[in-house]
Structure 1
Amino acid sequence: MIEWLIGAAVFGLVGELFGASRRPSSPPSYQPVSTRPKFTLTPQAAEEQKPETAWDVAKFHDLMAALDWLESPPRYPAACVTPPILSEAAKYRGFLKQELARVEGTIADKAVCGRISDFLKDPKLAREGAIAAHLERELARWAGFLDCVESQPLTAEQRRAVLSEEDATLVLAGAGSGKTSVITAKAAYLLKSGTRESGEILPLAFGKEAANEMATRISRACNEPVKAWTFHALAYHIIRHVEGTKPPLASHAGDQKRYSDLIRRILRQLVATDEKIANVVVDWFTQFPIECGSEWDYDTKHAWYTHVESLNLRTLQGEKVRSYEEFLIANWLYRNGIDYEYEPQYEHRLPDSGRRAYTPDFRLTESGIYLEHFGVRKAKSPIGFGEMLVTAPFVDRKEYLASMEWKRKVHTSFKTKLIETYSYERQEGRLLEALAEKLGPHVTLKSRPIETIFDRVVEMGQIDSFTQLLGTFLLQFKGGSYTLGACQSKADKLKMGERGRSFLAVFDPVFRQYQHELGGRIDFEDMVLRAAGYVDSGAYQSPFRHILVDEFQDISQDRARLVGALKAQHGDARIFAVGDDWQSIYRFAGADIHIMRSFGAEFGGEFGIQKDVQQVVDLGRTFRSVDKIALAARRFILQNPAQIEKTIVPAGEAEGPALRVVWTKKAKPEAELLETLADLTELGAGKETSVLLLARYRHDRPDMAAIGRKFPNLSLSFKTIHGSKGLEADHVVILGCNNGKYGFPSEITDDPILSLVSPEGEPFQHAEERRIMYVAMTRARSTVTLLASEAEPSCFVRELVSDTEYGLATSTGSMAGHVPCSECGGRLLPVPARDGRVWYRCEHSLMCSNYMPACSHCGIGMPTVSGSSGILECSHCGANHHECPKCSDGWLVERHGRYGDFFGCIRYPECTGKASVSEIRTREADKAEGASDLKPGVVRFGTGKR
């Protein structure tokens, strides 16, 4: 009897799903041949193949009838409307193959056995074939409508997106691919086909303006009013429907500045009233503001120096230091009231030693004690006895240990006190404790008041980045319904150590105070979560069967929960999401890119053993950018392997260079901007040309009124990159592509702490900043110009310049004529001196002391080895120089010594390479023999003339 009831219930569900419908496109009633029991198979029964679960012949005829439906479905065969018997067969196909073999002899129509057997070989493939066939029929049927529903006929990809009716359909709509047209056409198709009524369609947008545009375009396309909602308007509607009234909104809801000010005020209040929290906050700024590695994580000096510079290690006293360990030491000294000098000139004059002037790491001004921090760790001796000191992979161990010993001897010789600290002490977790022990007998600690230190942090502008981090964390914490305990467990799992614990120790009271100040009001996160709860519980009955979500890449966890709850209320409800994970740039507002990346798992249907049935449509074609921009932007964004790979079909071919960098003098970028705009004016050939100036931060905005007066033929506008979403222009100029905290990429946004309130972290460095750069690049139709400091270009600019596949064109400047630094592998940059001469200094000026004079003949260029001639040739005047036999980038100049004339390296005393006069004359004579064979214009040695 129980088995019969189960069978009847299953067939009742089939009848309900496939019974007569008021909609003309709904499938006809589906009636099984048999209503006998023994239909539903439990997984355990299927596994054990118990005799009582065996199918009889009639059941296979029922499956055959379902296959007839699948062969020519009256509507898209989504998982949610496919006959349940097909899903069951797909789930237990191994068992059914055996059952079919058992009863095959009793089935008169052998074609039945063949069709069922073919289906059981690959049920998923069979349903996909049915989908493809159905789409082809619908494409032909609706061709006229899809040609004229928008101002331009829809592309092939757009048409397939509109006609796809899977449980969950994700449309990957890249920049300029016409996503709004797809949503408009989708809603119009649902109405005109009779699939849905207007009240059953739910268009969702993130902003009121976008929602209004959607509603207007949909209503115009189908001559029927359709209401579009923002998430917050929908949530408020649900709450009012259930509660009968709308709760008051928090004053900061929707106002980012007010929200940030509130978090900043709460933080300051806690520092002033809670000593324990105040100490943790100060610890954060003096010890844990950044996630820092060590020299041992890098193979080259250039890589390590680049990393350190990106950290912007500025101490509480205000100086930039060379390592995270020096940063810790300097801040400990400051907090404990010990006045110091960083890298002062040693107080005694040293004899000529072939070294630059000696500058110890620290000098304590009151006691006169010197501090040296040595970058050495302990390791087992290779001979198996005891330990030895080792250096980072890129450091010459023997030379470094000799340098340590030399410094010790200097202090011993002049009877100055030297205190030493070591990298292995940090590795052992006792650097500051060891420092306190060593300084104990010599200094008196006078701890500065916490309020004083906090004010110093505010004065240095460091509080803003921490406030932003707290605010972003709070939004995602609430939106994802996280708990502090869960975050702490995840921090331990991710080995965040004391940094993770310190952040959560501050966040906990900030969050509690934030909730207290809300009082009876609600913020947007409360609003959406409360509405989702009402939908989950059934207190609100949703009329919506088709949910269309715009800009899906910006969805947050609370919004995703609301969408999921609405879809779950109806077995045949669908979600149609349009977005581009390459443009997910609102993490600070709670957006969670992982929801889009796991779209099928979040919203997909079920068919057989498949739990994440979805349809993904890649629009591909951009109607905006030419090939050299569109393809370069694609290559750039896909450096992050977590981004969903998409096809890009450009809007056209560029006639000339479309992507270039213009080098700027960091202090005065205005001149280069004006030159760039002048070039774009010429490119426009007298026509009005649109130019969009973009920057990572609003403070990079130039004087637009003054610029506009100089270039009347240019339609100029300025936006932050976040504010430019949805905009386009003929030309885009990206300002401030420099290295630094407020550069691009910004150094204040991608904090690993945020991974505690995200299903999974984004381990790829600058993941969101890379997406922001993609958004900036893809606003342009014809050209993109990046303005970057020649002294401190950002890592994005370095990448674009160094990889020839991007096809980047460069203006004249330092990176266009790359002069390598022999000491660290960076670049030597021209720096004008007060006397008018030019010196070349390493780009890592804080970390690397290498500098070189310019060419001895012209005083401007830098002699480098010419690729064509293999000789040392000035980049400016072409004069040839004699290479130094000892170093790789120096050259020999004539000098006068105690024992007569000789040729010595230009880099003396760092390099002692030299040659005798006779040796140089022999070289010149050898070159002179072949001088008559030189082509016109080739420079002769030592003349600098052509």
Structure 2
Amino acid sequence: MIRLQQRPLFGFFLNPFGTTARAIELKGDHLLVTGRSMPAALSLADIGEAPALRKGVLGTTLSLQVSANRDVILRGTDHADACAFADTVQTAWVSFNTGAFDREAQRFDRLHTAVSGLARPGRYPAACRLAPVLNDARSLDATLLSKLKAEAIGTDRAERVTLVRKFVADPRAARATAISVFVAAELDRWEQFFDTVESKPLTAEQRLSVVVDEDATLVLAGAGSGKTSVITAKAAYLVKAGIRKPDEILLLAFAKNAAAEMSERVKARSGEPIVARTFHALAYDIIGAVEGSKPALADHATDDAAFSALIKQILKDLVHTMSAVSRAIIDWFSHFLVEPKTEWDFKTKHEFYTHMEQQDLRTLQGEKVKSYEELQIANWLYENGVAYEYEPVYEPKLPETGRRDYQPDFRLTESGVYIEHFGVRRQKMADGTEKLTTAPFVNRDDYLASMAWKREVHATHESTMIETYSYERQEGRLLTGLAEKIAPHAKLSPRPVDTIYDRVIEMKQVDTFSQLLGTFLRKFKSGGYSLEHCESASDKMKLGKRGRAFLAVFGPVFDEYQKRLAGRIDFEDMILRAAHYVETGRYLSPFRHILVDEFQDISQSRAKLVKALKGQHPDVRIFAVGDDWQSIFRFAGSDIHLMRKFGAEFGGTFDGEAGIHSTVDLGRTFRSVDQIAFAARTFVLRNPAQIQKQIVPAGIATEPAIKIVTTAKHEGVKALSDVLAALSSKLDPAGETSSVLLLARYRYLEPDLRDLRRRFARLTLSFKTIHASKGLEADHVVLLNADSGRVGFPSQIVDDPLLALVSPDEEAFQNAEERRVMYVAMTRARRTLTILASNARPSAFVSELLKDPAYGVSQPSGSDQDVHECGECGGRLLRVQGQDGRTWYRCAHSEQCGNFLPACSGCGVGLPRRVEGTLQSKCSCGKVHPTCPDCANGWLVERTGRHSTFLGCVRFPTCLGKAQLARKPSGRGVTGKRRR
């Protein structure tokens, strides 16, 4: 113990109020300070530098730095005493600092080695490797390093401490620099390996993906970019570089054949037997290891056709055995099979008609109706055994009105009573009265006049007309109201439920519904959802009665499905049970690197298993290779959001930042020429949720690579033959052959391959559904039947909004998955892609490809004719050949619109169109006609009536537009003075 204090007299003059220290005493590792406003004790750890002395007239002043802006000062001391005290304190201070450093020397040396090693890292500085270093460094910095003084510990130690503290201050920058240094050196070190590991040297992007070894690494592998080469090289590299032993590497594939191919390639490249497994094989092995034996697998687990057949059988059995459930099932097919949209959900006739055609509104009786509300009425009549005709010709012959034959919506066969359904809703006015309104694209005055005319017809001819209205459905009483109105005219005789269901089967409506149920069931189990969750989600998403109707069927189907497993397990059970064993530690994983192929197809349950394996050890890495542009297996449970949120789901944590991962874009395709590669990229990226990727094509096209051929009804076979003949004719006569892959959205569209192969022997022809074609390629691809419709392409079944109930995030973009299916189809082609589509109902995808010049698509055959818009609905007018041999123009929405125009009387081919700002319609041949005053499309031609000649619309009797015929004295021609 040593003490230094002010000399009494000097101290009074220098410190009369006691604001500085009066005495300081060194006691062990502390300085005891005496003074009115001074702290009682200071640790030597608080001293920033050695004591400083300053000799003055009134004695020596000693200063101790406690912090950057605060010193302890003792004035008026004896100089000799001050020097002795300062020396003693400095010795104690140095000893304290060096002692503290020495006590943590081993810990510090480990940290210093790890941090200094970042200058030339021997392993990839992954977050999981550096996070423990950072945590330890921060802890040591807080307790020791930040308190050590460079002067006390010496220059060498101070420099080492500074290096560690610099890492603590900015660890992200240090890690980023280390990664950059490592990658550059590693790419150079393994150059020969990358040149020879595959049959062709790896690209720069492929090499990068191999050496990057983050906690989670996502390799974006576009179509034909060589993803299998990347996985093979990665596994071989991990072994050859001594990073992992073969049994520490887990290779996961989705299909047996892919797993077998991967195992074979990895063994050939690495010389080590690293066996690739499917998720199901892995899960089965985990269950077997924990339980001692493997449970029996359900027969349908490995057979999609058997799974679909089981769902259909369950539906049928429920109809026959459970009355409450059978009613729910029939209600679904009668009223909720399609999305219940009405005219009020659309702004234009064209949009409404297009939607109706996509829905294929077919009644239980078999006819196609024009609106969802008509469908409800027709199915109610059928269910209740009320015989009816749809749109019959009104029986009393009406006098000549110029109109088409009157066809009421329904006629009850036995009573002859008619039903007219009017598309009007009620609107409350400010004065309390009600006003009838029509859909946005319907002329209200004309529609109300039509209603009045129909009432007048029935009154005149004393026929009975029952009226129903759109506002009744809006108010939830359309069918109850119909029952009341029809009661006096027809006796209800409800058909047995099983009879109705047999009719549903006959119409093949069960097939599409069972597909929806199967997809929903797999996602339901995979994601661990409950019916309560789905019901709540349905309410939030405002799916209304349709959502509730679906769940009323799904609940019993799911319960029955679970019962029929009878102790066996399906794939969802298998993977979830395995994940549970891993999560709870009953299974100890040996794996430190998990390599997953086709990652875009991963499901919630598979992701759960992967995360459980990763969570068992702090240094496990996930290496995922996939292409979100090719995620097309939602029906099998895949969830694209797991790839889009890859970092959040699988990434590591470093410096307080979660979701640490790395993404490598392979950025090229070895398959398609530029026109196809770029068009496919543009097409799929219309959905902004898809991950951006760069594409480098395989070559430059020297002629149009994408062609669209539109065909008339029943001419698809001839069109395909013409396309194949054209491809065959371009082959070198010396025996050259070419591969042609015929693709379709559905298997039933497969053409007669035997006949085609016989006729086009030099073409290697094959057929696949688009889903089955993944991984395949051909010189030429022909896509069949790219038409619109409920079972068209895009399919209106696959993207049913109900599937959002079992998806973490709904895909808001319309036809999101079907757009990816189209991308897969496009990218199977190396040299050319030909799309066959209906000229009347082309797919929305075909229309998009044709409209946007960015796609560079060659116009369809016969497209030299102009594309004309239907003036009645905004659709397209198609050129058709009439039975009389004349050319006509018919609206593509033939069942809804019915607009029909003759070709120009001058050339017999063209279509006169209105000249803006004039009263004339002009054909491309130059012939001019006066326009019709009543309709948007027609023009006037000379007609002869009972009493005179006049100008009438070419659309007569649909349009009654007229004009008077006047002749000029000069005889130069005919002019029309219009009248209505």
SS of the counterpart of 2:130? coil
Partner of 1:608: 655
Partner of 2:316: 268
Q: How far does the alpha carbon of each residue in 1:111-165 deviate from its partner, in whole angstroms, 9 at most, with x for none?
A: 8899789767764344333322321221122122111111111111111111110
Give the deviation of 1:106 after TM superposition: 9.2
Given that residues 881 and 892 in structure 1 are in contact (C-alpha distance below 8 angstroms), is that contact kept between their aligned partners in structure 2?
A: no
Matches within 5 A, 1:251-330: 251-330=299-378
Give the deviation of 1:645 after TM superposition: 1.8
Distance 1:855 1:591, change over 3 A: same
Partner of 1:435: 482
Partner of 1:768: 817
Partner of 1:240: 288
Partner of 2:559: 512
Q: CA separation in 2, counterparts of 1:373 and 1:78?
A: 68
Give the deviation of 1:315 after TM superposition: 0.4
Q: How far does the alpha carbon of each residue in 1:170-204 deviate from its partner, in whole angstroms, 9 at most, with x for none?
A: 11101000000000110111011100111111111
* Amino acid aligned to 2:868: V
Q: CA separation in 2, counterparts of 1:369 and 1:295?
A: 26
Partner of 2:927: 880
Given that residues 531 and 562 in structure 1 are in contact (C-alpha distance below 8 angstroms), is that contact kept between their aligned partners in structure 2?
A: yes
Give the deviation of 1:903 after TM superposition: 3.4
Partner of 2:245: 197
TM-score by length of 1: 0.86
Q: CA separation in 2, counterparts of 1:820 and 1:493?
A: 40
Give the deviation of 1:102 after TM superposition: 13
Q: CA separation in 1, counterparts of 2:810 and 2:755?
A: 44
Given that residues 901 and 917 in structure 1 are in contact (C-alpha distance below 8 angstroms), is that contact kept between their aligned partners in structure 2?
A: no
Q: CA separation in 1, counterparts of 2:442 and 2:830?
A: 47
Partner of 2:781: 732
Tell me whether 1:699 sits opposite 2:738 in the alignment.
Answer: no
Q: CA separation in 2, counterparts of 1:310 and 1:77?
A: 54
Given that residues 691 and 730 in structure 1 are in contact (C-alpha distance below 8 angstroms), is that contact kept between their aligned partners in structure 2?
A: yes
Q: CA separation in 1, counterparts of 2:949 and 2:117?
A: 100
Q: CA separation in 1, counterparts of 2:297 and 2:490?
A: 56
2:439 to 384, 389, 392: 392
Q: CA separation in 1, counterparts of 2:265 and 2:251?
A: 12
Partner of 1:674: 721
SS of the counterpart of 1:656? coil
Given that residues 172 and 618 in structure 1 are in contact (C-alpha distance below 8 angstroms), is that contact kept between their aligned partners in structure 2?
A: yes
Partner of 2:589: 542
Q: CA separation in 2, counterparts of 1:307 and 1:76?
A: 54
Instruction: Identify the range of structure 1 (339-348 vs 167-176) with the bigger mean alpha-carbon deviation.
Output: 339-348
Q: CA separation in 2, counterparts of 1:245 and 1:113?
A: 56
Q: CA separation in 2, counterparts of 1:919 and 1:605?
A: 90
Q: CA separation in 1, counterparts of 2:525 and 2:475?
A: 37
Tell me whether 1:458 sits opposite 2:502 in the alignment.
Answer: no
Q: CA separation in 1, counterparts of 2:551 and 2:931?
A: 57
Tell me whether 1:712 sits opposite 2:761 in the alignment.
Answer: yes
Distance 1:384 1:615, change over 3 A: farther
Distance 1:612 1:672, change over 3 A: same
Q: How far does the alpha carbon of each residue in 1:924-945 deviate from its partner, in whole angstroms, 9 at most, with x for none?
A: 799xxxxxxxxxxxxxxxxxxx
Matches within 5 A, 1:283-682: 283-381=331-429, 385-682=432-729
Give the deviation of 1:414 after TM superposition: 2.1
Q: CA separation in 2, counterparts of 1:630 and 1:920?
A: 67
Q: CA separation in 1, counterparts of 2:119 and 2:919?
A: 73
Q: CA separation in 2, counterparts of 1:102 and 1:908?
A: 101
Q: How far does the alpha carbon of each residue in 1:244-269 deviate from its partner, in whole angstroms, 9 at most, with x for none?
A: 22222222221111111111111111
Q: CA separation in 2, counterparts of 1:761 and 1:850?
A: 39
Instruction: Identify the range of structure 1 (248-257 vs 480-489) with the bigger mean alpha-carbon deviation.
Output: 480-489
Distance 1:115 1:420, change over 3 A: farther
SS of the counterpart of 1:916? strand
Q: How far does the alpha carbon of each residue in 1:572-597 deviate from its partner, in whole angstroms, 9 at most, with x for none?
A: 01010001111111112121212112
Given that residues 66 and 86 in structure 1 are in contact (C-alpha distance below 8 angstroms), is that contact kept between their aligned partners in structure 2?
A: no
- Name stretches of at least 5 consecutive residues in structure 1 with no aligned partner: 1-35, 37-54, 927-946
Q: How far does the alpha carbon of each residue in 1:715-752 deviate from its partner, in whole angstroms, 9 at most, with x for none?
A: 11111111111110010000011122332222322222
Given that residues 88 and 608 in structure 1 are in contact (C-alpha distance below 8 angstroms), is that contact kept between their aligned partners in structure 2?
A: no
Given that residues 872 and 937 in structure 2 are in contact (C-alpha distance below 8 angstroms), is that contact kept between their aligned partners in structure 1?
A: no
SS of the counterpart of 1:824? coil
Q: CA separation in 2, counterparts of 1:278 and 1:105?
A: 88
Give percent identity, aligned residues only: 57
Higher Cα Rg, which structure: 2
Q: CA separation in 1, counterparts of 2:596 and 2:440?
A: 51
Distance 1:547 1:408, change over 3 A: same
Partner of 1:842: 891
Partner of 2:219: 171
Given that residues 932 and 961 in structure 2 are in contact (C-alpha distance below 8 angstroms), is that contact kept between their aligned partners in structure 1?
A: no
Q: CA separation in 1, counterparts of 2:372 and 2:200?
A: 58
1:889 to 925, 931, 937: 937
Q: CA separation in 1, counterparts of 2:201 and 2:914?
A: 58
Tell me whether 1:783 sits opposite 2:832 in the alignment.
Answer: yes
Matches within 5 A, 1:924-939: none
Given that residues 376 and 422 in structure 1 are in contact (C-alpha distance below 8 angstroms), is that contact kept between their aligned partners in structure 2?
A: yes
Partner of 1:48: none
Q: How far does the alpha carbon of each residue in 1:285-307 deviate from its partner, in whole angstroms, 9 at most, with x for none?
A: 00111223222222111111101
Give the deviation of 1:487 after TM superposition: 2.0
Distance 1:80 1:384, change over 3 A: farther
SS of the counterpart of 1:80? helix
SS of the counterpart of 1:641? coil
Distance 1:508 1:904, change over 3 A: closer
Q: How far does the alpha carbon of each residue in 1:758-807 deviate from its partner, in whole angstroms, 9 at most, with x for none?
A: 21222322222111111111000011101111112111111111222111
Distance 1:704 1:77, change over 3 A: same
Given that residues 790 and 813 in structure 1 are in contact (C-alpha distance below 8 angstroms), is that contact kept between their aligned partners in structure 2?
A: no
SS of the counterpart of 1:136? helix
Q: CA separation in 2, counterparts of 1:391 and 1:349?
A: 29
Instruction: Identify the range of structure 1 (709-718 vs 748-757) with the bigger mean alpha-carbon deviation.
Output: 748-757
SS of the counterpart of 1:666? coil
Partner of 1:749: 798
SS of the counterpart of 2:282? helix
- Give RMSD over aligned pairs: 3.1
Give the deviation of 1:479 after TM superposition: 1.9
* Amino acid aligned to 2:375: F
SS of the counterpart of 1:406? helix
Q: How far does the alpha carbon of each residue in 1:376-401 deviate from its partner, in whole angstroms, 9 at most, with x for none?
A: 222243x5543322222211222222
SS of the counterpart of 1:737? coil
Q: CA separation in 1, counterparts of 2:472 and 2:525?
A: 39
Give the deviation of 1:372 after TM superposition: 1.6
SS of the counterpart of 1:367? coil
Partner of 2:231: 183
Partner of 1:798: 847
SS of the counterpart of 1:82? helix
Q: CA separation in 1, counterparts of 2:340 and 2:148?
A: 67
TM-score by length of 2: 0.83
* Amino acid aligned to 1:520: G
Q: CA separation in 2, counterparts of 1:102 and 1:491?
A: 62
* Amino acid aligned to 1:286: S
Distance 1:918 1:81, change over 3 A: same
Given that residues 871 and 880 in structure 1 are in contact (C-alpha distance below 8 angstroms), is that contact kept between their aligned partners in structure 2?
A: no
Give the deviation of 1:88 after TM superposition: 7.9
Distance 1:871 1:774, change over 3 A: farther
Give the deviation of 1:811 after TM superposition: 2.6
Distance 1:824 1:136, change over 3 A: same
Given that residues 131 and 655 in structure 2 are in contact (C-alpha distance below 8 angstroms), is that contact kept between their aligned partners in structure 1?
A: no
* Amino acid aligned to 1:728: E
Give the deviation of 1:611 after TM superposition: 1.6
Distance 1:885 1:261, change over 3 A: closer
Instruction: Identify the range of structure 1 (636-645 vs 155-164) with the bigger mean alpha-carbon deviation.
Output: 636-645
